[in-house]
Structure 1
Amino acid sequence: MASRGTSGISTIVREDLGLKGFKVYEVSRPANALHIHDRRDFYKIVLVTGDMIIQYGDNTIEINDTFLFFANPRVPHTVVHRSMDRKGYACLFTEAFIGGRERREMLHNSPLFRFDGIAVIPVNGEQTAFLAGLYQKMLSVYNGDYHYKNALLRSCIELIIHEALRIQPLQHALKPKNAATRITYLFTALLERQFPVESPADPIRLRTAQDFAGALAVHVNYLNRSVKEVTGKPTSMLIAERMIAEAKALLQHTGWSVADIAYGLGFEYPTYFNNYFKRATGVTPQSFRKGKV
């Protein structure tokens, strides 16, 4: 078993990304077994073959094959390599690089980048060959002097995203079909838009069904009825699940104190957050952070 260490994206890649908003590179054997990526300002799409465990937000995914991995800068993730052998490609880009309202909306709304979305998609040999060709094209264009290289790189990113959706199509249509589905869709989008929590000084504002009903200009009973009809869960349960998922992510992936996490999640006092978290998980925030689950 490989030793555990920490390693993020290399300094050269970070600097390059900061200057140009885009970077594509070939993935080789990792120097360390554990890569921890906190929230950053870039999206990442990786095509890789390897044996690893990916913790994305509050989800844990074990993979030992070739797959695509889609990382949202708003969702921290950790990669534990169970083997020193890996190969593939990685593409990183900022929202500013992708440009255009339609492309930005594609990123924000795509199930590939959602907190509760797909994130990891296994690919077969034929699909790998096609995707590897796109990455190789990006490498060639990126290192070349083509005048419109950014436009071509953006097109390659879109092709990868569309190919991923073609490989694993959505099980449920995103387009609302009736009034109840529409208000539930709006509630879910409004809930998700509050996350991630970036600073204790900028806490989330909507924490109850009544808060969301007010923001959506509907009666709270109508919101509750619609959400329960569409999802099978009470509005308060969905809010609590998302709050706890964010709390776990902050406890696992940041150095914030429990008090700061409490304030960031809109709790007036840390003790309220401690009680809330323990009721939902059975353990205190500190015990969860220490792995005493």
Structure 2
Amino acid sequence: MSNKTISAVPALNPALKLNGFKVYKISEIESPPHTHGRRDFYKIVLVTGNMTISYGDQTIEMNDTFLFFANPHLPHSVVQHSKKKGYACLFTETFITGRERTEILQKSPLFRYGEIPAIPLNSEQATFITGLYQKMLSVHKGDYTYKDELLRGCIELIIHEALRIQPSQIELKQKNAATKITTLFMDVLERQFPIESINYPLKLRTAQDFAQKLSVHVNYLNRSVKEITGKPTSVHIAERIAAEAKALLQYTDWSIADIAYSLGFEYPTYFNNYFKRLTGLVPKSFRIQKV
């Protein structure tokens, strides 16, 4: 079967612009070809089929049943590899505004650039969301006075259900970001060692120093490092400085004052107190025991 570039959007723009909402069954309407471009509406599609979705700078291969979320601010296109079936709803930002609904669109990871816009569904999840689309079809065709309110509620339920289904992927992305900044921190920390000359003393000694070096907020650095390693940033720094201090005391003939200055301490007394707090010994006692 030849591949076709398709859109899950039929020629419904006049009605959509008039009412701000449209819902339809995909199998009932032919989808005309379209270019990779922006639209003036949001789109949520429940579809079963094999297709390639281009969304912003991402390309996603999807097979089986999934939800697809399209943001009007990002171009997208679809290449269909097999027959498809399902449902789609389109709505403008004006239609969904009111109460906290605008915030749902703005803050939902499903509508932000860089997030995964397609979510695979199992049979139970697909059945539940299919029921919501069928409810929207029924309500949209009827004359219920508050049907727009009910339709908005169905849209919210689909968004919340998608967030409930996919929390692990969202959390994984957050954890990957924390892992990345933690790895960078550990790398910068380690690159400062070994100290080979008192003329080149340690420069980065606090969490704030490292945050500035990495161009991130210190709170974000501390939170990420603690999440990934289980220990605060300050503890990693202190342990590494203490390890270097032990090596310098044991393997060099530098004076304790020179070691203190090389590790960034303004006065030897500060170094003595720091070392004792971490090891239980003052530097001189440690050196005597190890020599």
Match of 2:66 in 1: 67
Are 1:132 and 2:123 matched, yes or no? no
- Is the aligned partner of 1:46 residue 2:45? yes
The match for 1:141 among 126, 139, 142 is 139
- Counterparts of 1:75-86 in structure 2, within 5 Å, are 75-83=74-82, 85-86=83-84
| 8 A contact 1:55–1:77 mirrored in 2 | yes
Which residue, 85, 91, 94 being the options, matches 2:92?
Answer: 94
Instruction: Give unpaired runs (5+ residues) of structure 1.
Output: 185-219, 233-293
State the alpha-carbon separation in 2 of the partners of residues 42 and 5 from structure 1: 20
- The answer to whether the 8 A contact 1:51-1:81 is kept is yes
Q: How far apart in 2 are the matches of 1:130 and 1:138?
A: 13
TM-score (norm 1): 0.57
Instruction: Supply the distance in 2 between the matched residues of 1:38 and 1:105 (Cα, whole angstroms).
Output: 25
**Identity across matched positions, percent:** 59
Are the aligned partners of 2:36 and 2:77 in contact in 1 as well (CA < 8 Å)?
yes
- DSSP-derived class of the 2:217 partner: helix
Task: State the AA in 2 paired with 1:62.
Answer: E
Number of the residue aligned with 1:2 = 2
- Structure 2 length-normalised TM: 0.57
Distance 1:91 1:98, change over 3 A: same
Unaligned runs of 5+ in 2: 182-210, 226-291
Equivalent-residue separation in structure 1 for 2:5 and 2:169 (angstroms): 38
SS of 1:28's equivalent in the other structure is: helix
> CA-to-partner distance for each residue in 1:161-214, whole Å, 9 max, x for gaps?
1111111115566xx9xxxx9xx9xxxxxxxxxxxxxxxxxxxxxxxxxxxxxx
After superposition, what is the alpha-carbon deviation per residue over 1:192-239, rounded to whole angstroms, capped at 9, x for unaligned?
A: xxxxxxxxxxxxxxxxxxxxxxxxxxxx9588232894889xxxxxxx
Partner of 1:117: 115
**Regions of 4+ moved over 6 Å:** none
1:136-182 Cα shifts (integer Å, max 9, x gaps): 00000000000000000000000001111111115566xx9xxxx9x
Distance 1:52 1:155, change over 3 A: same
Q: What is the Cα-based RMSD across aligned positions, in Å?
A: 3.1
Q: Deviations over 1:10-61 (max 9, x none)?
A: 33x1111010000000002885795435212210000000010001101110
Count of aligned residue pairs for this structure pair? 188
Mapped to 1, the partners of 2:57 and 2:224 lie a distance apart of 20
Q: Distance in 1 between matches of 2:8 and 2:137?
A: 21
SS of corresponding position for 1:131: helix
Classify 1:77/1:169 alpha carbon distance in 2 versus 1 (closer, same or farther; 3 Å): same
Q: 1:4 to 1:69 in 2, by over 3 A?
A: closer
* Equivalent in the alignment of 1:167: 165
Which amino acid counterpart does residue 26 of structure 1 have in structure 2?
K
8 A Cα contact 2:10 2:30, kept in partner = no
Q: Structure 2 vs 1, CA of residues 171 and 47 (structure 1 numbering), >3 Å: closer, same or farther?
A: closer
Q: Which has the higher helix share?
A: 2
The higher relative CO (CA closer than 8 Å, separation ≥ 6) is in 1
Q: Residue 225 in 1 paired to residue 216 in 2?
A: yes
Q: Which has the larger radius of gyration?
A: 2
Contact 1:43/1:73 (8 A) holds in 2 = yes
